[in-house]
Amino acid sequence: MDRRDFVRMGLAAGGAASLGRAEGALPTAKAASSILDAGILQQQEQMAANKLTSHSLTSQYLARIGSIDKSGPRINSIIEINPEALKIAREMDRERLLRKLRGPLHGIPVLLKDNIATADRMSTSAGSLALAGIRAARDAHIVAQLRAAGAVIIGKTNLSEWANMRSTHSVSGWSARGGLTRNPYSLDRNCSGSSSGSGAAVAAGLATLAVGTETDGSIVSPASICGVVGIKPTMGLLSRSGIIPIAHSQDTAGPMARSVTDAALMLAAMSGVDANDAATEASAGKIGDYAAALQTNSLQGKRLGVARNFFGTNDDLDNAIEKALAVLKAQGAELVDVTVPNIDKYSASEFEVLLHEFKSDLAAYLQDYAPNAPVKNMADIIAFNKQHHKQEMPYFGQEHLESAESKGGLDSKEYLEALANNQRYSRDEGIDQVMKEHKLDALVAPTGGPAWLTDFINGDHYGGSFSSPAAVAGYPHITVPAGYVHGLPVGLSFVGGAYSEAALIGMAYAFEQATRHRRAPQFPASVSLAVR
C-alpha cells in the first residue's frame, strides 16, 4: 500500500470526508532527523513500506523515555508507563498485516495527561497521592475514540496537581505523585501548566502525540512555552466524560503535537458525540474536515484582528510576534488592530464559576469513575492532604480546594449570576462582538510569555496570557510556534467563534509552513541572555 492509498483510506476511516485539497498540503512536512521526532505521516509511510513497525516505534519511544525523561536531562514528564503498550503495538502490527488499518493513528504512540481515565493497569490520579493506584472503572470517551482509531497509549504524563486548581502559590508542573516536570528548552525553567508533562514530552520526542486538558490556558500555555502546537477546541467538540474535572462549563481535552498536521489528525480522531456528555450533542454535524483544512494558502484573503490589549508584557515577545504578523500579512491576510472588549468584567466571576463547579463535578467523577477510591468528595481530599502534608504540601497549600469546599451548590444565586456574566461578556459582548464589528475571520495575539524560572518559594509568575477569552467563551484556540526569546519558545494564537476549528487549523497550518519555527530542544541547564 503506497502513501497516497494509505492516507486516503486512513482519513476516511478516521472521519474525514476525503483527502481532497489536502493532497497537496500534507506531504510538505519537514523531514525529521529521527523517526522519533517525525510526525504521523512520516511514521505511517515507514510502516507502510515495512521499514518500521508499531512495536519497534513504541519500543524506541520507551527507550528514549528512559534515557531522557528518567535519566540524562531528566525532564520528568512521564508519571507512569503503560505496561500493556508493547502488547497493543503488536496487535496493531497484526492488524496491519491483515490490511485492517483503522486510520491515520493506527499504531501511533500517544501519551495521555494523568487526569484522563483509562480502564487498564494505569492509575488516573490528577497527580494526587489520594488517587495513586486507583484504576478507573472505564475509559474516558476520548480514550475509547483513540483506541478505536488504532492509537497505542504508552503512558500518562505528569501535570500540575488537580490541574493547577490547588493553591494560590502553586508551581506549575509539580504534583505530589509525579514531582516536577522541567522545560526541555531550559531545565531551570517552568513548562507552565497544567498539561506540563504533555507539552514537555511531545517537545522532547517521547511520543508522537499527547493529549492535554484545559479549563483556562492549560493546553495552549504549556504548548506555547514548550514550542509545540496545541488545540483547545470548542467546548463540547470532545467529550468530557472520564476526565477528572475542574469545571464542566469550560473543561475540554485537546491535542498537543509537533505539527499542525498531527494535531489536526488527532483532533479528528477524538471528536464525536458522546451519549454520556450532553454538551457534545451540539457538535453533531459541526465536526469539520480538519485534514482538508491543511492548505498553505489558507491565510489568503483572511481578515485577522490583532488583539492589541494582549501585547505589552514583554518587549522581546512583542518583537517576535510582530515578525509573525508580518508573515501573516505576506501570506495574504489583512490585519486589523482591535481590542477584545470586557475582559475585565469576567475575571472575578470566572473563578467563582470554577470553584462552584469544581466541588460538584469532582464528587460526580469520583462516584462514577473511581468508586473504590478512599476519597469521595472535596472534603475528603482536603483531609487527605492534611494527613499527608509532608508529601502533598511541601511547597504550597490547598487554598483553592478549601475555597471550593466552602461554596454552595449549582443552584445558588452566586453561581448562576457568575455563569451568566461569563457567557455575556466573553461571548455576546466579547469575542462575538469584536469579530462581528470588524468582520473578522479570527483573532491573533501572543499566546503568552516565555518560560519563567521555576520558583518553589514564590510560585508561578506568568508573563501574560491570551487564554481567558476563548476559555471562558468555550471557543476554539490554537497556538503555533512563532519564534524564540533568548532561546525560549513563544507561540502565536488563533482564536475564532464556536466550531471554527477547521478554519483556524488552515490558518495555523499556513503560518507554520511559511515559518517552520519549531526546532528540537537541546536540554540546556539554563539559557544564555546573550541569545535573542
Task: Check 54, 160, 196, 218 and give the catalytic one.
Answer: 218
- Alpha helix positions (H), 98-183: 141-148
Torsion angle of alpha carbons 438, 442, 445, 451, nearest 10°? 160
Which three-class secondary structure state does DSSP give residue 86?
helix
- Alpha helix positions (H), 133-172: 141-148
Q: Where are the beta strands (DSSP E) in 299-431?
A: 303-307, 334-338
| 249 noted as active-site residue | no
CA–CA gap between residue 217 and residue 64 (Å, rounded): 28
Q: Which helix (H) or strand (E) is 231 found in, with range?
A: strand 229-232
DSSP 429: I
Q: Are 142 and 267 in contact (CB under 8 A)?
A: no
Determine whether 43 is exposed, middle or buried from the number of CB atoms within 10 Å of its CB (0-12, 13-18, 19+): buried
DSSP tally for the chain: helices H, then strands E: 17, 13
| 33 noted as active-site residue | no
Cell of 357: 463547579
Cell of 506: 488552515
Task: Check 194, 198, 239, 468 and give the catalytic one.
Answer: 194
Q: Where are the beta strands (DSSP E) in 236-357?
A: 252-257, 303-307, 334-338
CA–CA gap between residue 409 and residue 16 (Å, rounded): 41
In the block, cell 472521519 appears at: 15
Dihedral sign of CA atoms 493, 494, 495, 499 in order: negative
- 463 φ, ψ (degrees, to nearest 5): -110, 55
CA–CA gap between residue 515 and residue 346 (Å, rounded): 35
CA–CA gap between residue 44 and residue 7 (Å, rounded): 9
Tell me the DSSP string of 476-508. -EEEEEEEEETTEEEEEEEE-STT-HHHHHHHH
CA–CA gap between residue 296 and residue 25 (Å, rounded): 6
Which three-class secondary structure state does DSSP give residue 457?
coil
Rounded to whole angstroms, the maximal C-alpha distance in the chain is 62
- Alpha helix positions (H), 104-226: 141-148, 196-203, 220-225
| 113 noted as active-site residue | yes
CA–CA gap between residue 267 and residue 233 (Å, rounded): 8
CA–CA gap between residue 115 and residue 204 (Å, rounded): 21
CA–CA gap between residue 489 and residue 446 (Å, rounded): 11
Task: Check 77, 113, 128, 465 and give the catalytic one.
Answer: 113
Cell of 493: 494564537
Beta bridge partners of 312: none
Enumerate the active-site residues.
Answer: 113, 194, 218
